[in-house]
Structure 1
Amino acid sequence: MTERIDGHTLLIGLMAYPIRHSMSPTMHNNAFAKLGLNYAYLAFEITNETLPSAVQAIRTLDMRGSNISMPNKQKIIPLLDKLDPATEMIGAVNTVVNDHGTLTGYTTDGIGFMKSLDDEGLDIRGHKMTLAGAGGAGTAIAVQAALDGVKEISIFNRRDEFWDNAKRNVDIINEKTDCKATLHDLADQDDYKAEIQSSYIYADATGVGMNPLQDQTLVTDPAWFNNPDQIVFDTVYAPRTTELMKVAEKAGVKHVFNGLGMMLEQGAAAFKLWTGKEMPVDYIRQILFDDDDDKAKA
């Protein structure tokens, strides 16, 4: 790292709270070093309250850009100059590119989700998905899956601050894509079970399963997974094996994934936006996936 940093090094950030557990600095800095690119990637703990000054710092310091994660993915939108069209539909940003003071927002979460399944030889296009969560990641997954050809999406959420966002997601998907989307209350457990059992893939895009909820899962009964050929996908990657994954594995589900592949592929998409180069994905996958589970701190 010290051999690469000089007076011409460009800074890229990660702005979220909490964020010290993130593997993104490891991913991007190793990719920069592998390709000999003069960039450095650092994590900054930024809340909604400190976000405006942090975004101004991107301009002031002429940073190349930043990743954005919870709780800032939607709050950052009014602070940017432009959004790309898909991101405008999604209504959440996870990547900012700075072109000499003009800040453009993108979202690569949904791209990362779909690409990570492609990497495993799994195609959910033309199939039904049940999705829990309607925050930044859940919204990106739902919209991108619909744009890419998923036939039907049942979105479950609690009647909390994200309920209206879930309704917006359903309306946009039904209006702008060929996918049929429906909204369901997570409190209706019978409905929840039925929708999961009629789906090819179940994805959890909530924070349940990660610190401080690492001992919890929305699905506790293995009988809810009644088809070994189903896909169960948890966007959480720390811990590497979540409680949801344990339930699915106990049910005999063959295709059970955490969010590490999604994190890798969304990072690769952001990497290209900043550098114009393809991330050396196989090299980075080896670094990330070969880490011991206890290194992925919750």
Structure 2
Amino acid sequence: MITGTTQLLGVMGYPIEHSLSPVMHNAAIAALGIDYVYLPLLVSPENLAVAVAGCGAIGLQGFNVTIPHKQAIIPLLSEVSDLAQAIGAVNTVYRTAQGWGGTNTDVTGFLAPLLDFKKGRLEDGTAVILGNGGAARAVVAGCQQLNCAQIQVVGRNNEKLQAFLQSWEAPLSANLTVHTWDKLSALLPQADLLVNTTPIGMYPQLDASPLTAAEMAMLPAEAIAYDLIYRPRPTLFLQQAQAQGCMTLDGLEMLVQQGAAALSLWLQQDQRLQSDWRLQSDQQLQPQSVPVEIMRRSLLQQLG
């Protein structure tokens, strides 16, 4: 029930009607029994600055940022976390004394389903990343945290690839190389982790994949294939990898975990909730529990 004291959260993008974030966040809010609501915020690029100011004026507690605003919003923020600065993208915005602050929880989301493999094949392994857009930036940072020995980013435009490479600073630039698409046949046999960050294969392109069947056949059966797309499930890319005998992951868990990290951050800032959240020895409020499983189930139900 929305009341006169209901606190507002949301997700800002253009378009926004495809977003599943309101589904999972409102499911979590209901489970926690807190007086919040999470709304879709349709904001065109030319209206971004006025929308961010307006969110502050009407008292939003925080919001997520999705395509195409993750980079454009940075100059509008009073503070940006070190991680978000290094990646060059913000996906979570929170209140500060000076205005709005921004961070990036996409790395947390990307890493979540991979952590079980950190001590195994991925540490000191080779990651091949398809695409060099905004989503690839969080993946590069995540692969650095996994201690991948080689991080190879593959794209179709060499000028954009070189700009992507030059945009990184140490330590995130360590072990990072870029390659044009025609080099895939040499890269795929080395891959321990193959990540699709492109939109190829996203609904409604059910019969599309960034790789041909012949290219996917070059991937070792022991490799992990990870598609950031979560609709359809599975994508053709993951079907191709499954035919190779590879372990496969889609983007659903990344969506859940980045959302849970954002919700945790916002709720830690709510003075009304502090009696329900415990103060740790480092004097930082930590959530007793964000209902991750409920968030996950709500998405699975929505996706059918």
Instruction: Sort the TM-score into its range (normalised by shorter chain).
Output: 0.7 to 0.9
Name 1:58's counterpart in structure 2.
Answer: 55
Amino acid at match of 2:11: L
Q: Is structure 2 residue 228 aligned with structure 1 residue 231? A: no
Amino acid at match of 2:127: M
Write out per-residue CA displacement over residues 136-181 of structure 1, whole angstroms, 9 at most, x where no aligned residue: 2210110232134222100112218853552235x42xx2148411
Name 1:185's counterpart in structure 2.
Answer: 180
Distance in 1, matches of 2:103 and 2:35, equals 22
Q: Is structure 2 residue 88 aligned with structure 1 residue 91? A: yes
Distance in 1, matches of 2:204 and 2:295, equals 28
Q: Is structure 2 residue 257 aligned with structure 1 residue 259? A: no
Aligned with 1:33 (options 30, 34, 38): 30
Shifted more, 95-104 versus 81-90: the winner is 95-104
Name 1:122's counterpart in structure 2.
Answer: 117
Amino acid at match of 2:134: G
Name 2:212's counterpart in structure 1.
Answer: 220
Write out per-residue CA displacement over residues 267-288 of structure 1, whole angstroms, 9 at most, x where no aligned residue: 1111111112342112322332
Distance in 1, matches of 2:161 and 2:219, equals 28
Write out per-residue CA displacement over residues 233-280 of structure 1, whole angstroms, 9 at most, x where no aligned residue: 010111121121121122222x11110011111111111111123421
| Structure 1 SS opposite 2:117 | coil
Give 1 or 2 for the bigger CA radius of gyration.
2
Aligned-pair identity in percent equals: 32
Shifted more, 53-62 versus 139-148: the winner is 139-148
- The correspondence of residues 97-246 of structure 1 with structure 2, limited to 5 A, is 97-99=94-96, 102-118=99-115, 121-123=116-118, 124-159=122-157, 162-163=160-161, 165-169=163-167, 171-172=168-169, 175-177=170-172, 179-186=174-181, 188=182, 191-211=183-203, 213-222=205-214, 223-246=216-239
The offset of 1:227, in angstroms, is 2.1
Amino acid at match of 2:20: M
Contact 2:17 2:40 in 1 (8 A): yes
Contact 2:198 2:210 in 1 (8 A): no
Unaligned ranges ≥5, structure 2: 269-286
Contact 1:131 1:205 in 2 (8 A): yes
The offset of 1:39, in angstroms, is 1.3
Name 1:285's counterpart in structure 2.
Answer: 296
The offset of 1:87, in angstroms, is 0.7
The offset of 1:125, in angstroms, is 2.9
Q: Give the alignment's TM-score, normalised by structure 2.
A: 0.86
Distance in 1, matches of 2:250 and 2:153, equals 19
Contact 2:65 2:91 in 1 (8 A): yes
Superposition CA RMSD, Å: 2.0
Name 1:14's counterpart in structure 2.
Answer: 11
Distance in 2, matches of 1:35 and 1:100, equals 27
Amino acid at match of 2:141: V
Q: Give the alignment's TM-score, normalised by structure 1.
A: 0.87
Shifted more, 278-287 versus 21-30: the winner is 278-287
Contact 1:94 1:105 in 2 (8 A): yes
Amino acid at match of 2:140: A
Distance in 2, matches of 1:269 and 1:158, equals 33
Distance in 2, matches of 1:160 and 1:18, equals 28
Contact 1:93 1:136 in 2 (8 A): no
Amino acid at match of 2:64: N
Distance in 2, matches of 1:65 and 1:162, equals 32
